[in-house]
Structure 1
């Protein structure tokens, strides 16, 4: 083969690789399409918790109660986008919340005096972090079992207990990650078997048990309305739909994720402006930040490999001339 022809082949391969890299970057940045109806999670275990990332049109699902911390990203069409994990271990993770770019995993199950909530900033499918930021929370009145974790627009953590003496417990406004934080009991709950809850974008709370959805006023935490879920489910989770005004519960007999209108009237006033999440200052030079060290997989790895190949092809072209 002549040198000129060989150079043309290598140059063509180089251009093809560059096009693939650009195309992959466009795909990875495009948000998933919204689903008009609720989706199906066939063959999946009943989620312990679900949470909604409205900014990126995706849901996060907590499926593992113990072992390595792991949450799964689900697109609006029900397709798995990838998993995010950390090297933390949990003993009885039961609750999952998402607000303002932060995922919160509640290791709150089992009767105990102290529980732990782990914060993950900007989770991304197909990544692993060394450690999430832990917040130890202590009940003021002895041991409790819980399955619902909520984070409101002020980034305030709330744990909803179940069983005898069930209630809503609120964490301090600025909890410490280096020591235990005292919870404060702020309200009773409409059911002794609350299994999950969510704070909606408009500020209202929605709690659920096995059969019923309860809408709570955010100021008083009093029940303003309730409705039957209407389907027997294996799961006990609830989250706000990407389409505002409805919530999702999971899973029906065939793995359905059921969409239900939020009980009660829609607030007439727009929600008040909420404080912006404060980002911690960057670590000093040379100091590793354990919460921001990622092991990238999936699209990022493929794009990196394509760039390396493209660079090698360019070197070959230069040396052949």
Structure 2
């Protein structure tokens, strides 16, 4: 509780906190335990419904580890680019992996970078520069147009959002622009390497559903899900109230991903830590479907533009004619009988 109070005091300035909507999501369930020593510093995840893809914190190679659903390393995909400090992983619809080489604990890097790694091991380096000095960044999001968004890790709780001012240049650098900020509220969820409360507001990873309709920011102890309606800017969506999903008791939770079915996948640094799944999580934050267009007024049948009249006389005149015919026939019959 002391950590929560401390964060509350530190967060006196900045944007209004993102107050999470109350829901009762399923608890994360362990899918398997990752015991491979090569992934002792697991920091980023992606998923395609059949395999998980993972990156380590730091690193000297641009390497993605391909994992089976039993947490076994099936193979690796490596490129020649030597990163400084990879912190997160995103995957484009075309299968390109984006390694977020943006870690900067000491805030001394003149540039950070994104590394695009193809499934066959080719890399392209894109250097980036902040407009306001160095930041430590551990979260990367791609919007529907594959525009990268970097979300900083700030011990005071206010995460800043940066995106390129234009198309990425290789090797660059491409300038970043400050696009917005988000402030999360502290919780008592246990876990992480720092006191409770503080760890709940430090953004350590991010993920997007395949269609971009829901994005997630994670901290050491929570996942915050935001719906992104069609046509809405990602930064605008991050200003809305999120759905909070607790991820308790992870040793150093930094990795998060969405399965194609909307399940949320989370993982932590440390050998012997589980990869956990929250089934159907994306549906909790999915934007409502667009309203159907208003129903058009019923049009009259061209052959039935009068009440009761289809290929014939209107109903009321037809009844009148029938009555006249019947009465006339009755009078004629009486006259004949009178004779």
TM range (shorter): 0.5 to 0.7
Check 1:84–1:253 CA distance in 2 against 1; reply closer, same or farther (3 A cut): closer
Cα displacement (A) at 1:153? 2.0
In structure 2, distance between residues paired with 1:81 and 1:253: 17
Cα displacement (A) at 1:180? 1.3
SS in 2 for 1:256: strand
SS in 2 for 1:267: coil
TM-score of the superposed pair, with normalisation by structure 1: 0.64
In the alignment, does 2:112 pair up with 1:115?
Answer: yes
> Alignment partner for residue 250 of structure 2, among 232, 248, 254?
232
Cα displacement (A) at 1:64? 4.8
Contact kept, 8 Å, 1:50 with 1:62, in 2: the verdict is yes
In the alignment, does 2:88 pair up with 1:95?
Answer: yes
Aligned twin of 1:215? 225
In structure 2, distance between residues paired with 1:73 and 1:133: 20
Q: Which moved more, 1:248-257 or 1:148-157?
A: 248-257
In structure 2, distance between residues paired with 1:208 and 1:201: 17
Cα displacement (A) at 1:43? 4.2
Check 1:141–1:257 CA distance in 2 against 1; reply closer, same or farther (3 A cut): same
Contact kept, 8 Å, 2:226 with 2:285, in 1: the verdict is no
Cα displacement (A) at 1:188? 1.3
> Alignment partner for residue 249 of structure 1, among 261, 266, 277?
266
> Alignment partner for residue 277 of structure 2, among 259, 279, 289?
259
In the alignment, does 2:97 pair up with 1:80?
Answer: no
Aligned twin of 1:161? 152
Unaligned stretches of 5+ residues in structure 2: 1-28, 185-200, 291-339
In the alignment, does 2:216 pair up with 1:206?
Answer: yes
Aligned twin of 1:28? none
Check 1:214–1:64 CA distance in 2 against 1; reply closer, same or farther (3 A cut): closer
Check 1:150–1:49 CA distance in 2 against 1; reply closer, same or farther (3 A cut): same
Show the 5 A alignment for 1:128-167.
Answer: 128-129=121-122, 132-163=123-154, 166-167=159-160
User: What's the CA shift string for 1:253-294, capped at 9, x where partnerless?
Assistant: 942111124273433338xxxxxxxxxxxxxxxxxxxxxxxx
Aligned twin of 1:104? 98
Cα displacement (A) at 1:214? 0.6
In structure 2, distance between residues paired with 1:248 and 1:229: 10
Contact kept, 8 Å, 1:107 with 1:116, in 2: the verdict is yes
Cα displacement (A) at 1:38? 2.1
SS in 1 for 2:131: coil
In structure 1, distance between residues paired with 2:48 and 2:42: 16
Aligned twin of 1:48? 43
In structure 2, distance between residues paired with 1:260 and 1:236: 16
In structure 1, distance between residues paired with 2:90 and 2:206: 9
Cα displacement (A) at 1:136? 1.1
Contact kept, 8 Å, 1:58 with 1:76, in 2: the verdict is yes
Cα displacement (A) at 1:196? 0.1
Contact kept, 8 Å, 2:44 with 2:205, in 1: the verdict is yes
Contact kept, 8 Å, 1:156 with 1:173, in 2: the verdict is no
Unaligned stretches of 5+ residues in structure 1: 1-35, 271-321
SS in 2 for 1:88: coil
Check 1:69–1:50 CA distance in 2 against 1; reply closer, same or farther (3 A cut): same
Aligned twin of 1:303? none
Contact kept, 8 Å, 1:46 with 1:234, in 2: the verdict is no
Q: How many residues align?
A: 226
In structure 2, distance between residues paired with 1:107 and 1:80: 22
Aligned twin of 1:70? 63
Check 1:166–1:267 CA distance in 2 against 1; reply closer, same or farther (3 A cut): closer
TM-score of the superposed pair, with normalisation by structure 2: 0.61
Cα displacement (A) at 1:176? 1.2
